[in-house]
Amino acid sequence: MLDKLLKMAEGPLQEALAKSGANAGPGAASAIEDIMGSLLQKQAKSGNTEAVKEMFSGRETPANSAVVNNLSGDLSNGLIEKLGIDSQQAMSMAAAALPLLMNFFNKKVNDAPQDNEDIMSSIAKSLQGEGTGGGLESIMGSLLGGGTKGDGFDLGGLMNMGKGLFK
């Protein structure tokens, strides 16, 4: 589930990396999404849902926040390992990517018909493996651009959003 959400940020992430001067090569955005997904999943399963809740809080996350700082080292290490880059380049890429990823869903959360707290809790519980994700399909539909409260996942809305990226 989180991997699908992070894929939504790929275009803006590629743009942010290009503007940052981090010298990110092809595949860097995808690597960041994969590593972030793994990091957030691992943290949530261990009971630490702070980063996930911040990502879906609906509030702006400052680049110098504790959550960003806590993720920065792990993301950088993952980039070094996955892309074979040096630590300075990895830190530069993490510094460009983390604020964007942490804030990417805030507007979507605020625009969704569900309460921000419900969205945060449902996503955190899903990542922790609790429950069946009740209401999660509806939340995913809202975040991915379709549906209203209780309508379920709107694949058509996702497809339309994807088409809009290639105009």
Share of the chain above pLDDT 90, in %: 37
Question: What are the φ and ψ backbone dihedral angles of 58, each rounded to 5 degrees?
Answer: 85, 0
Distance (Å, rounded) from C-alpha 120 to C-alpha 49? 9
pLDDT averaged over the chain?
77
Are residue 59 and residue 141 in the same domain, yes or no? no
The span from the first CA to the last CA of the chain, in angstroms, equals: 26
Question: Is pLDDT of 1 > 80?
Answer: no
Q: Which of the pair, 137 or 50, is modelled with greater confidence? A: 50
| Domain identity same for 122 and 90 | no
146 pLDDT above the threshold of 60: no
Residue 79 has what pLDDT? 96
Q: Total domain count for the chain?
A: 2
Is the model's pLDDT at 77 over the cut of 70?
yes
Q: How confident is the model at residue 149 (pLDDT cuts 50, 70, 90)?
A: very low
Average pLDDT of span 16-43? 90
Q: Is the pLDDT of residue 155 over 60?
A: no
How many Cβ atoms from other residues are within 10 Å of residue 156's Cβ?
Answer: 12
Domain boundary among 88, 105, 122: 105
Range of the domain at 85: 2-105
The reply to whether 12 and 92 lie within a common domain is yes
Domain stops at, among 54, 75, 105: 105
162 pLDDT more than 50? no
- Give every CB contact of residue 10 below 8 A, 6+ residues apart in sequence: 29, 30, 33
90 and 127, same domain (yes or no): no
Percent of the chain with pLDDT over 70: 65
